[in-house]
A and B are shown apart, each in its own frame.
Chain A
Amino acid sequence: MLRESSSPARGRALGTRWLGVGLAACVAVVTLGLAVTGRIGLYINPDAAWWAVSMSIVVLIGAIASCAVPVTGHTHHHAEHDAHAEGVEEPVPEPVPEPEPDELPRRSAPAVVATVVGGTVASAFVVCSLVLPPASLSAELALSRSSGGAPQLASSATLALASSGDTSAFGIGDWASVIATTTDPSSFVGDTATLTGFVGPGEGDDDFWLTRLVIVHCVIDAQAASVPVADAGWSDRFDVGQWVEVTGTFTQDSAGALVLEPVSVAAVSEPGDPYEY
């Protein structure tokens, strides 16, 4: 970088650094920023945060150290043929100080265009991540992801724990899997619960589905979990997507399925950790 004399060569060197080390450093900064402000849970399971944080630190150390190395022919050369492959690359690729550069075939115009477009889109995405405030998934999308059933992750451990009678620490995900998998719903009748989630539409005006997204690793694997709440006329008081805190007791409905009979349903603002893990 420091030894580059001609400006096209310097431009290429900067392009190489931005699209490689630069993008990685931005993502590392975003990761560390989220971790420091306690919002990493908006994107990945906080249990895995230590791993993301330590590798982000490695990226930043590597990025700083790599600035100490002037970009040489190797970097251009190497970056060129790798990127040629992915069709993403800076505009004027030409191995600078290599011997016999004319031996390397020139790249086609479409490949150059693909490179510029791909590089721009990738840069725009990363800059947006850096500049825009972190956000949770919208209720709208969460609801479209619920396939009606309980999350896949319903574990037998949950059920065993539930049968032992200790359901005090259960979240919506746990209750949803209990409701979906238990063979003896009556054993849960009378259990009390205080659950926070958002309002999802029920089958009619008599009940709504208290919904929350459950995440295993990162938000892309989020699955919606729901507990039915018997609350006639709910649609007059709440919009779909409104966060509520429900306190109540489980009972069986006419079909024998478990349903939460609320003592109170109160509108609340979205919690800082909108997902369950």
Chain B
Amino acid sequence: MRVTRERMRVTRERMRVTRDSAHAVAPRTVRVHSRGRGALIGAGIGVVVILGLFAIDAWAPSLFASPLPTRAQDGLTLGLSVLIESLPFVVLGLLLSIVVQVWVPAGLIERWMPRRAWARRAVLSLLGMFLPVCECGNVPLARGLLIRGFSVPETMTFLIAAPIVNPIVILTTHQAFGFDGGILVARLVGGYLIANLIGWLYSRHPDPDALLTERFRAECAHDDHLHGGRVRQSLELFVAELRAVMPALVLGSALAGAIQVIVPRDALLAIGANPVWSILAMMALAMTVALCSNVDAFFALSFASTFTPGSIVAFLIVGPLVDVKMLALLRTTFTTRALAGVVAIVLAAAFVIGVGVNLGG
């Protein structure tokens, strides 16, 4: 692993050199003319496609009067409403992620970090406050941190804390719940503590780099894939990150809609009032619906009238950290064993916090 680290460093140096020389050397300007025309044609195609989509959106619905059975239509309506509500937040996260990855000068974040391991983790877990990226955007960002040379436990602390200790999440959770039942406070403090607990536990691991997948280590070795100027890099990230996030977002929204239509309310109501079972049920729900942490508070709100506050807190803690979508994203970077440990810790801690809120309330 030390070898890999060294290769990462060398790669970074090489990147810097390549980039600098690319700016200085003349041959690049020769291609600018043809590239400029290509860009115009590409943008022209983009405009035409978008106008085409508007045309379809305007005229196609008149061809289908009432095409779907009621239940499917309700599922579509619910899923689409989650999608329309959450897309703006995901786009905001994406924009910020681009700013951090492309526009913040190298070394700026590192310079502000304390030296001691626990203090670094404590600060990193608050970094999410200043990098308001949703859980999906965090994974690419965390990979960037690893490549920049942050240790595995430090990066993990950031990854676990950032989806919860995050300005947009605080805002939306506050909008949904206010300070009722201590839900907002329990979510924030709980998320922060769990992240630092996990960071501390894994810092005691004899070989933290073994927590990373072979694949990611291999990728670190030639991670010089950003090309051209900053605008170009930003657009490439825009394409790549949307590709990574959108299918999961659409599937998550559709699933959330489907669950609302398929699972009978009565069944949920029966579980919802029990102080222990309600927590387990909401944790299971959190792992399966895979909502973005920016909007899951709105979703949880629909359960607030029937479920115990502790179970809502457990839902809001588990969902952003270890839902199916997040685990799939994390699996790119961390080994299955490492993730199993994280899941066990998060579930246990969320359960304890949930029971605490129920007893305290």
A residues whose Cβ falls under 8 Å from a Cβ of B? 1-3, 16-17, 19-21, 23-34, 40, 42-44, 48, 51-52, 54-56, 58-60, 62-75, 77-79, 81-88, 98-100, 103-105, 118-119, 121-122, 125-126, 128-138, 140-141, 144-145, 147, 149, 151-152, 216-223
Q: A16-B243, A29-B54 are in contact. Are A51 and B88 (CB under 8 A)?
A: yes
With a CB–CB cut-off of 8 A, which chain B residues contact A223? 302, 305
Cβ contact within 8 Å between A69 and B82: no
Cβ contact within 8 Å between B80 and A221: no
Option from B68, B85, B222, B305 in Cβ contact (under 8 Å) with A151: B305
B42: shortest Cβ distance to chain A, in Å?
4
Cβ contact within 8 Å between A152 and B332: no
B residues whose Cβ falls under 8 Å from a Cβ of A? 38-43, 45-47, 49-50, 53-54, 56-58, 60-62, 64-65, 67-68, 70-71, 73-74, 76-85, 87-88, 91-92, 95, 139-140, 175-176, 214-216, 218-219, 221-222, 225-227, 232, 235-248, 250-251, 253-254, 256-257, 260-261, 264-265, 269, 298-299, 301-302, 304-306, 325, 328-333
Q: How far is the CA of A137 from the CA of B72 in the complex (A)?
A: 11
Q: A55-B92, A79-B240 are in contact. Are A66 and B235 (CB under 8 A)?
A: yes
With a CB–CB cut-off of 8 A, which chain B residues contact A151? 305
Q: How far is the CA of A263 from the CA of B264 in the complex (A)?
A: 37
Cβ contact within 8 Å between B248 and A75: no
Q: A20-B246, A21-B238 are in contact. Are A104 and B215 (CB under 8 A)?
A: yes
A272: shortest Cβ distance to chain B, in Å?
15
With a CB–CB cut-off of 8 A, which chain B residues contact A99? 222
Cβ contact within 8 Å between B265 and A147: yes
B153: shortest Cβ distance to chain A, in Å?
20
With a CB–CB cut-off of 8 A, which chain B residues contact A23? 242, 246-247, 250
**Extra pairs beyond A33-B57, A122-B247, A144-B264 (8, CB < 8 Å):** A31-B87, A32-B54, A44-B85, A55-B92, A125-B253, A218-B82, A218-B84, A220-B298
Q: A74-B236, A221-B299 are in contact. Are A135 and B77 (CB under 8 A)?
A: yes
Q: How far is the CA of A196 from the CA of B264 in the complex (A)?
A: 27
With a CB–CB cut-off of 8 A, which chain A residues contact B261? 141
Would you give 25 A-B contacts (Cβ < 8 Å), ordered by A? A1-B42, A3-B38, A19-B247, A20-B243, A27-B84, A29-B57, A34-B84, A42-B77, A48-B85, A52-B87, A79-B243, A85-B244, A85-B329, A86-B248, A88-B251, A98-B222, A99-B222, A104-B218, A105-B218, A122-B246, A125-B254, A132-B68, A138-B74, A216-B298, A217-B85
